[in-house]
Amino acid sequence: PYVDLELPAATLPERIGRLLDLGAGYLALPGGVGTLAELTLAWNLLYLRRGLGRPLAVDPYWLSLLKAHEEIAPEDLALLQVVADEEDLRAFLRSL
């Protein structure tokens, strides 16, 4: 029910890079500044490498914060899948 693999890293960018390299897909659950950093970097990489084949999903928690930035184009918001409930989560995990 929890992650038990520890991957030490010297810096935050190194840690995030390692997480992104290892993931088949990414799910951002409610969190703080660290989670926001991970989410925005994963989203930016998805934006820059459209069609990379690694989906990015977010809990609805993040939508109000992200939508507050009016400069974000609708097509860029569309890169994120919203996982609002267990059925959404199952569908996201099946897509990996």
pLDDT in tens, 62-91: 988 887 777 788 888 888 899 999 999 999
| Nearest CA among 64, 50, 58, 67 for reference residue 88 | 58
Q: What pLDDT is stored for residue 45 in this prediction? A: 85
- Beta strands 26-28 and 56-58: pairing type? parallel
Q: List the domain boundaries for the chain.
A: 12-94
What does the block give as tokens for 32?
A: 């703080």
Decide: 18 and 9 in contact? Cβ < 8 Å. Answer: yes
First to last CA, the chain: 19
pTM (2 decimals)? 0.73
Q: What pLDDT is stored for residue 31 in this prediction? A: 92
More confident residue, 81 or 6: 81
| Nearest CA among 63, 76, 16 for reference residue 41 | 16
* CATH architecture classification, 12-94: 3-Layer(aba) Sandwich (3.40)
Q: What is the percent of the chain with per-residue pLDDT over 90, rounded to a whole number? A: 33
